[in-house]
Amino acid sequence: MRHDIHLQGPGFALRPVTETDSDFIIGLRTDPELGKFINASSPRREDQIAWMQKYYARAGDYYFLVTRHDGTPEGTIALYDVTGEGSDKRGEWGRWILKRGSMAAVESALLIYQAAFERLDLGMVYCRTVALNQPVVSFHTSCGLATFGIVPNNMIRDGKSYDAVEQRLMLTNWPAVRANLSTKAERLARHLPPPGNPARTKIGI
C-alpha cells in the first residue's frame, strides 16, 4: 500500500519504495547469492512495476527502501500481512535484502521494529525464514526473538518447497530488544563515512 512512514536511525533510514527503485530492487532480488532464500523475481522492469501496482492496492503492506543518510540505497525491508486490532494487531516482516557486505542489518531490523511497534502499534511481529537460511534464523534469535515453530512448505521455488522457521517478537519484549539494537546501531554508525562522502572512508587505528 502507499504509505508515508519515514524513519531515521543513527546511520541508515527507511523510506517508502517507489517505482523509481525498480532497477535497484531487481538487482538485489535477482542476485544469485542474495536472492537464494526468497521468492523468485522477474528480472524485467515492467514486471517489477506491475508488482508495485498490486502492492499499492494491497492493505496492510508497508514496503521500505533502506538507505544511507545521503539517500544511497542499501537494501529493502517490509512489514506486511498486518491484521487484527488492539493487542492482537500483528504483522510479518521480510523482503529483507541488503547489498553484499552491507553493515545495515542491525539498524534496519531496529527500524522495522520501530515502524511496527511505535508507528503502527502492533502487539506482535513475526518473521518466517527459510529454515536452511541458518544465519538469518540465528540473527533473529540473537536479537531476542522467540522461535515459535516450523511452517511447512512456506516457500515454493523452482518446483521445490521449503519449510520456514517462525520467530516472534512481542510488544512486551520490544523495550529490551530496542535497547540492545540501538546501542549497537549507534556505535556502528560511527564507522560509516559522513553523508555526502560516497567514498568509504578508511578509518585508521
Partner 1 sequence: MTDKDIEAKVRELLALVLEKPIPAAQPVSRANEPKWDSLKHVELIFALEDTFGVRFSEQDMAGLDSIQSIVAALGRRHAA
Binding interface with partner 1 (CB under 8 A) = 100-103, 105-106, 134-139, 142-143, 184, 187-188, 191-193, 200-205
Residue pair 39/29 in contact (Cβ under 8 Å)? The answer is: no
CB of 134 to partner 1, least distance (A): 4
Query: Whole-angstrom Cα distance, residue 127 to residue 143?
Result: 12
Indicate the residue among 59 and 199 with the shorter CB distance to partner 1.
199
Task: Determine the 3-state secondary structure of 82 from DSSP.
Answer: strand
Query: Whole-angstrom Cα distance, residue 59 to residue 77?
Result: 17
Indicate the residue among 4 and 33 with the shorter CB distance to partner 1.
33
Query: Whole-angstrom Cα distance, residue 157 to residue 142?
Result: 28
Q: Which three cell numbers stand for residue 110?
A: 531496529
Indicate the residue among 12 and 62 with the shorter CB distance to partner 1.
12
Indicate the residue among 58 and 200 with the shorter CB distance to partner 1.
200
CB of 105 to partner 1, least distance (A): 4
Q: Which one-letter amino acid corresponds to residue 60?
A: G
CB of 10 to partner 1, least distance (A): 13
Residue pair 61/132 in contact (Cβ under 8 Å)? The answer is: no
CB of 204 to partner 1, least distance (A): 7
Q: Which one-letter amino acid corresponds to residue 29?
A: R
CB of 2 to partner 1, least distance (A): 30
Indicate the residue among 54 and 202 with the shorter CB distance to partner 1.
202
Q: Could you tell me the sign of the dihedral formed by the alpha carbons of 172, 78, 133, 33, in that order?
A: negative
